[in-house]
Amino acid sequence: MKNKIDPFKKETGIYAYLDLANMFHWQDVLKWNFSIYHLIDQLKKTEQIREIRIYFGTDVKNWQKSENFFRKLQSKGAIVITKDVKYIKKEVNEYFFTKRKTLPLFNEKSQTKLLELIDEVKRQGFWVIEEPKCNFDVEISLDMLDVVDKTSGYFLFSGDSDFKETLTRLKIKNKHIYVFGVRGQIGKELWPLMTKYIDFGRWYKGYKMRKSRR
């Protein structure tokens, strides 16, 4: 049997950055759930890995659950970066489901259907809904730039186009950027900047749980 070629052999060091909330959305595309613990184990098998940094919000409504989760991630060897999840209150109206500029594009029948949906949601008692918000784009970007003199490669588990400027700076420094993602979830701005795109669904070798049909 031929030995597998190490695709990262040229790297003197690799730092991995996982935007975990973003990654959990990948599961809807993949149609299966991954194990973050198995993912950490797989990353640790890459000889050049120096740090595995996981970014995920602390649920202030269930602090103990978040704390237990973070402890387990740390026990696997990951560095956890967190901050409190903010809950944004939004009134249930037509602008909850669509943008103000988009609504006039709907025909009369569609607008009537939308109003019927709103009435149904309100009948269920949902007049105001709290949406969780906790983005880590700034923290990830700053952390990536902080180690620019310590590493040759980066693993970025996110396809958010907000990383365009960060990746541009790293590319100028001749750094190798490996972007992990799934189809339809990679911003077009990142493609010219990455060294290589790695399909997460093909790369991941850990436990998979099929998502149940609703």
Number of structural domains (the chain) is 2
β-bridge partners, 18: 54, 157
Quick one: 21 and 116 in the same domain? Answer: no
| pLDDT tens digits along 63-88 | 999 999 999 999 999 999 999 999 88
Quick one: 179 and 92 in the same domain? Answer: no
Quote the distance between the C-alpha of residue 156 and its chain's center. 9
Quick one: 74 and 163 in the same domain? Answer: yes
Segment (H or E) for 64: helix 63-75
Write out the DSSP string of 93-153.
Answer: SHHHHS-TTTGGGS-HHHHHHHHHHHHHHHHTT-SEEEEEE---HHHHHHHHHHTTTT-SE
Quick one: 56 and 152 in the same domain? Answer: yes
Whether residue 177 is contained in a domain is answered as: yes
**pLDDT of 211 above 80:** no
Quick one: 92 and 81 in the same domain? Answer: no
Quick one: 96 and 156 in the same domain? Answer: no
Quick one: 143 and 80 in the same domain? Answer: yes
pLDDT for res 213: 62
Its domain, for residue 124, covers 88-131
Do the strands 208-210 and 32-34 form a parallel or antiparallel pair, or are they unpaired? antiparallel
Task: Give the end of a domain, one of 75, 109, 131.
Answer: 131
pTM as predicted: 0.85
| pLDDT tens digits along 32-58 | 999 999 999 999 999 999 999 999 999
The single residue listed with the structure tokens 């025909």 is 107
Whether residue 7 is contained in a domain is answered as: no
| pLDDT tens digits along 114-150 | 898 988 888 898 888 888 889 999 999 999 999 999 9
